[in-house]
Copies of this chain bind each other. A is one copy, B any other.
Amino acid sequence: MIKTSTTLLAVIGDPIVHSLSPLMQNWMINYFKINAAYVAFHVKSNQLEQCVNGVKAFNMGGLNVTAPHKEQILNFVDQKSREVELLHAANTLKNENGTITAFVTDPFGFIESLGKNQSRFAGANVLMFGAGGAAKSVAYALSQLGIDKLIITDIFEEKAVQLKELAKNAFKISRVETIKIKTNNLNDYITDSQILINATAVGMHPNAAKSVLDDYSAISKQHYIYDLIYNPGHTALMLNAQKKGATVQNGLDMLLFQGLQSLRIWMNEDYELKIPALNELKSIMKKELGIYE
C-alpha cells in the first residue's frame, strides 16, 4: 500500500507501453517489503531535462531508463559510475538529495543470470551476434568474466568494428575479431567457440521463426547458447541448438537481474532472489507476455 512516506521509482522510455518493469519491480518491492512504488512514464527525447528536474523536485528515488534514452540521458546527470563512463549508456538513475548518479545494470544482470554456467566463460571463445546497445553491455560483462576471445558479427559491419574497438581499448578484452554475418566459414567460428550469444532482435516475437543461424551442423553439446530474447521463451535458435545437445538460456533472467540490481542501487540493500521466488516471478512475467510452454 502506498503511504505518504513511499519512495517513487519509475521507468522512462518512448514507447513505454510494453515495458514489463512495473510488473517486475512492484513484485520485487512487495516481495522484499520495500516502502516504494514503481510506475512507467512515457517520456519523449525533448523532455529528458524536465524529466530529470522532475525527479529532483519530487525527490524520487530514481529511474530506470530504456530505449531510446539510454545515451541521451547522460547529458542531464550529475555523476556517472565507472561502467557508465565506459559504456556511454545508463539504464538506472539514482537520486540522492538532488544529485543524480547514472548506473548501468545490464552487464551485471547478464553476469548474475549465468548462475553455475558462469564457470564456462573464463578463457572461452565467444561468438556474439549483434553489436548494438545490448551487445555492448554483454561485451563489457564478458570482459569481467575473463573470456579469451570475442568474435562479433552484425549486419552493420561498421557497428561491429566500433564495438570491437571499444571491447579492445576500453574493456581490455585482449582478442577481439569481427566477421561478416554471412561468412562462408561461420561453422569454423562456431566450432572454435564454446559460447554463442544472440544480442540481436532476430527471432523475437512476432518473428519467432527467424534465427541468426541457418545451419546448426556445427553446434554440439559442448556449446552454451545464450539468447537475450525472452519472448518467445524458446527461440528458434535455442530450439535447434537444443536438438544438437547444446545448453541454452533465454534473456528473462538477465531482465530480472538487471532490474534487481537497480533496486539494490536505489535502496542501498543487498536483496537476494532465491530460486523459488525467481521462478514465481518468472512465471508471472511469462503469463504477462502470453508465454505458455
Contacts and interface: CB of A to CB of B under 8 A. Distances in A.
Interface of A: 1-6, 8, 10, 12, 16-23, 26, 37-43, 47-48, 50-51, 53-60
Contact of A39 (B2, B12, B26, B41): B2
Q: So how many copies of this chain end up in the complex?
A: 2
Nearest to A18: B4
A53 B56 contact: no
Contact of A2 (B22, B42, B55, B60): B22
Given A3-B23, A23-B3, A54 B43 contact: no
B54 A50 contact: yes
Query: Which 3 interchain pairs have the tightest Cβ spacing?
Result: A54-B54, A50-B57, A47-B57
B58 A10 contact: yes
Contacts of A53: 50, 53-54, 57
Nearest to A6: B39
Given A50-B54, A54-B53, A19 B41 contact: no
A37 B2 contact: yes
Contacts of A42: 59
A40 B8 CA distance: 9
A38 B4 contact: no
A60 B56 CA distance: 16
Given A4-B17, A4-B18, A22-B3, A59 B41 contact: yes
A262 B57 CA distance: 22
Contacts of A20: 4
A2 B10 CA distance: 11
10 contacts: A1-B26, A4-B23, A4-B40, A8-B41, A12-B58, A41-B58, A43-B59, A51-B54, A53-B54, A53-B57
A96 B175 CA distance: 54
B58 A51 contact: yes
A18 B23 CA distance: 29
Contact of A37 (B4, B12, B39, B50): B39
Instruction: Identify the interface centre among A23, A42, A43, A50: most chain B CB within 10 Å of its CB.
Output: A50
